[in-house]
Structure formats: C-alpha cells, structure tokens
Amino acid sequence: MSDVTSETEKPQNTRNTRTDDGPPRLTRLAFHNPLSEARAAGIVRRLAGAGPRTVLDIGCGWGELMLRVLTAVPEARGVGVDVNARDLDRGRRDAEARGLAERVEFVEESAVGTARGPADLVLCLGASQALSTAEPPRHTVEALRELRRLVADGGRVLLGDGFWQRPPTTAELAGMWPEARADEHYDLATLVDHAVAAGFRPEWTETANADEWEEFESAYQADAEVWLAGHGDHQPAAATRERLDRHRAQWMSYRGVLGIAYLTLVPLVPFVPFVPA
C-alpha cells in the first residue's frame, strides 16, 4: 500500500538537498503520515502528560514525533528502530540540530521480535508491518500483541494504522497498490476492538481528516514533481514521471476510502498474555 507514515511550522532539521542524480526526497514532509501540526501538538501534549522516561519508536523513519516528545519531556530518552538508513540519518541530523543527540539513538535493524522494550511510551505510526511477518490484516493483530509486550505497565502506546472508511469497490481496489484486497484492512470499530483484545484500553481515538491526507500526499510528491518540471530531459526523468503518475493514480483510488487512525492506548493491568486457541 501507499506509505502512511504537514507542516505549517518548519521543524528544525537538516533537509536532504537536490543532487544532479535526481529529485530531493520528502523535504516537504515533517511526518511520514497524514498528520497535521495541530494534531501532532495535541498528541505530544497528551503523551508527555503521562511522564514517560523511555520512548521506543517502531518503524521510526526520521522519528519526528519521538523527537518532539523528547523535547517536551527533558528527562526522557528515546530509541528509534527502522531499516531505512537514509531516514535514520535524517533523524540523527535532526536530533543533533535540536540538542537531543545525547538522549536518542537511531538503530538500523528489524523490529520483528525486538527485545528493546519495555518502554514507557511506544510509538508505531504506519508501521505495524514492522512488528510482524504475517499477511495483512493479520499483521495488525500480531503487532498489537507485540506492542502490549513492549510497553511498560502504566505506559502508553500510540498506534497509527490504516482502516477502511467504507468498503472499497472493485474498481477502486484495481486502482490502488498492487494486489490490494477488500480484506486487507479492518474498519475502525474492528481495529479498536482488536486493540482491546490485545490488552489495551483506548484513551483516545482520532482519525486523519481529508485536509491532512491531501497535505500529506501532495507533500509526498511535491519535491519530485517540481524537479521533474525543470529536468524533463535528465536521465532519471522517465522513471520519476512513471513513479509519480503511478502513485498519484493510486492516491486518487484510495482517496476517501483508506483512513488512518491514531489510537492512544493504555495497557490493561495485570497483563494476561494472549494464547491462541
């Protein structure tokens, strides 16, 4: 599926710059998710209010939300885990620029079966697939169980996960990512029910709105679109055009159909591990 991972206030970081080899990458995105500055600020206030001392960011990318939590909670330390070295490097540069380098570590490794918990706060934004090798949507169920294992009693989990806002039509599915299926995501109610079954209580349930999606998807493409407009005769232009046109067509197919929920989850204590029947 599309990466679901807005900015009116520019974060203090070192952006990737254009090279002669192709367009810059994702410099318009503060977050790798449809997440507005206003919503992010509210989430950070809520999470910081729980007083976390340790933060674990699964599939962190460049860890923007984690860095904002660390800024809001000066005594907290964080670890971000991802397999994308380029995004991790951006996170390290951002942390250095904000004076957070001594309190955060960006680690290039798989999160499947990770032993890095438990942490007071676990972030998993658009990255449930990083915790499980199962096929969708089963990977979400397994990820929720892993998140319960990784969070300390009394802590918080912030899960950002996709859901169907309504059942997609056959034509819509055909225009989405390759092999998109109607059973690939749950609806919102079922997603929250799975969180409860995994040992959580939902403190806060919110979903990205249309403006957040449009800002995210536009920013996701904008760097490359502007580069392509001025470099149509450069060697990477044909491949860049094909990639941009393909992604835009996919977005137009899942626009208004695919949603993303941001669930602030509190672990139920005592924790009774789930045993499959």
| pLDDT tens track for 151-189 | 999 999 999 999 999 999 999 999 999 999 999 999 999
Q: Is the pLDDT of residue 4 over 90?
A: no
Please give the single-letter amino acid code of residue 111. A
d(CA 104, CA 126): 21
The phi-psi region of residue 51 (left if phi > 0; otherwise alpha if psi is between -120 and 50; otherwise beta) is left
Please give the single-letter amino acid code of residue 273. P
Output the pLDDT for position 274: 58
pTM here is: 0.90
Contact indicator for 161, 260 with CB cutoff of 8 Å: yes
Whole-Å CA distances, 247 to 175, 213, 241: 10, 14, 10
Output the pLDDT for position 22: 81
Q: Is the pLDDT of residue 6 over 90?
A: no
- Residue with the larger pLDDT of the pair 2 and 107: 107
d(CA 242, CA 253): 17
Q: Which two tokens stand for residue 63?
A: 């860890």
Q: Is the pLDDT of residue 88 over 70?
A: yes
pLDDT band at 21 (very low <50, low <70, confident <90, very high): confident
Percent of the chain with pLDDT over 90: 86
Please give the single-letter amino acid code of residue 6. S
Output the pLDDT for position 273: 61
Whole-Å CA distances, 4 to 100, 144, 217, 240, 260: 26, 18, 9, 20, 8
d(CA 234, CA 80): 36
